[in-house]
Amino acid sequence: MIKVGIIGSTGYAGAEIVRLIQQHKEAEVVWFGSRSYVDEKYADVFKNMFQIVDAKCMDDNMEELADAVDVIFTATPQGLCGSLVNEEILKKVKIIDLSADFRIKDVATYEKWYGIKHQSPQFIEEAVYGLCEVNRDKIKDARLIANPGCFPTCSFLSIYPMVKEGLVDPKSIIIDAKSGTSGAGRGAKVNNLFCEVNENCKAYGVATHRHTPEIEEQLSYAAGEEVMINFTPHLIPMQRGILATSYATLKKPMTYEEVKAVYDKYYKDEYFVRVLENSTPPETRWVEGSNFVDVSFKVDERTGRIIMMGAMDNLVKGAAGQAVQNMNIMFGLPENEGLQQVPMFP
């Protein structure tokens, strides 16, 4: 039985790890970290866990935690994992960091977009970007996983095959994403109140959102050349779900069948990536609560562009689910253990 510790277990992503591990046969959470709720019963904060989780919330002592568990998930704001990790800890325990601290290889880029100084740049090189479908082999032996961001996961997976095969102009990519509100976290902010979010749609972080360099870096690896994108996230009145709609110029005309073959080449054996048929647009309702990403595309002969779409649950494949998938790979378990929930609809 894998012993799991979570730092930040009372945020939405942390709580989702708790939910998923509850349904995992080979793992159990033994440390419910939460600075805000130390000594309170976890089930008093998340009452869905009443009579399921009996433990109390504990503080963020990573040293102590390293002795108590096999793997630590840090579901915390940027900067925390980077400030806590050290070689002693990494010798004892595997770390899956859900923050952005180890996602970007270039420290200067990280510090510029995030506006904070990196506290442990010496581990960036070692850290593996935990996009399971792409980096599976490296993940197996990793000590430190940089769990991908929600928008990057959904955007990247829906574009990846076309970029990898060099079929689209790498300077033409525009990603327009829409996200439910759980992505904004559980902090008490006026902007996230029900009355402010409901009946509203807005873009945010236009041309400045921090997930931009993360997406560009990963797409550049895939392309083998520099990719520069526009990325615009939008907040919409749902709880869960991300839909990414991406536009790129085809280098040459392609038929539906040709493109479909490209997607199938990369994803036909991937359990969690479902390539829809006949250009059916993906919808967030069809993946809610599950670790699936549904991807699809439409070739527009008129404009010579391809529209690539992906739908995903931001808390599962976009955060906690992918983190558990990484854990499964690291511990040699079936990749979908604990992640076989059928999407819940309605």
Yes or no: say if 24 and 92 are a contact pair by the CB < 8 Å rule.
no
How far apart are the C-alpha atoms of 229 and 100, rounded to whole Å?
Answer: 19
How far apart are the C-alpha atoms of 13 and 24, rounded to whole Å?
Answer: 17
The b/e string for 47-79 (b: 16+ C-beta within 10 A; e otherwise) is eebeeebeeebbebebeebbeebbbbbbbbebb
Taking CB under 8 A as the rule, does residue 90 contact its own copies?
Answer: no
Containing H/E element for 59? none
Yes or no: say if 293 and 312 are a contact pair by the CB < 8 Å rule.
yes
Taking CB under 8 A as the rule, does residue 279 contact its own copies?
Answer: yes
Taking CB under 8 A as the rule, does residue 108 contact its own copies?
Answer: no
Catalytic residue among 57, 132, 150, 154: 150
Q: How far is the CB of 125 from its own copies (least distance, A)?
A: 26
How far apart are the C-alpha atoms of 57 and 36, rounded to whole Å?
Answer: 9
The CA R_g of the chain, rounded to the nearest whole Å, is 20
Q: Which is nearer to its own copies, 86 or 286 (CB)?
A: 286
Q: Which is nearer to its own copies, 332 or 346 (CB)?
A: 346
For its own copies, how many residues bind (rule: CB under 8 A)?
Answer: 84
Q: Which is nearer to its own copies, 59 or 300 (CB)?
A: 300
Taking CB under 8 A as the rule, does residue 262 contact its own copies?
Answer: no
Mark whether 201 is an active-site residue. no
Taking CB under 8 A as the rule, does residue 298 contact its own copies?
Answer: yes
How far apart are the C-alpha atoms of 19 and 83, rounded to whole Å?
Answer: 27
Tell me the per-residue interface mask from 2 to 31 with its own copies, x by CB under 8 A, - otherwise.
----------x--x---x--xx--------
* Three-state secondary structure of 110-175: HHHHHCCCCCCHHHCCCCEECCHHHHHHHHHCCCEEECCCHHHHHHHHHHHHHHHCCCECCCCCEE
Taking CB under 8 A as the rule, does residue 341 contact its own copies?
Answer: yes
Neighbours of 256 (CB within 10 A): 13
Taking CB under 8 A as the rule, does residue 77 contact its own copies?
Answer: no
How far apart are the C-alpha atoms of 159 and 119, rounded to whole Å?
Answer: 32
Taking CB under 8 A as the rule, does residue 336 contact its own copies?
Answer: no
DSSP 318: I
Tell me the per-residue interface mask from 228 to 247 with its own copies, x by CB under 8 A, - otherwise.
xxx-x-x-xxxxxx-x-x-x
Tell me the per-residue interface mask from 180 to 219 with its own copies, x by CB under 8 A, - otherwise.
xxx---xxxxx-xxxxxxxxxxxxx-xx------------
Q: Which is nearer to its own copies, 177 or 329 (CB)?
A: 177
Q: Which of 25, 48, 106, 261 binds its own copies (CB under 8 A)?
A: 48
- Tell me the window of 70-78, 137-145, 152-160, 282-290 that interacts with its own copies (CB under 8 A): 282-290
Q: Which is nearer to its own copies, 145 or 299 (CB)?
A: 299
Catalytically annotated residues? 150
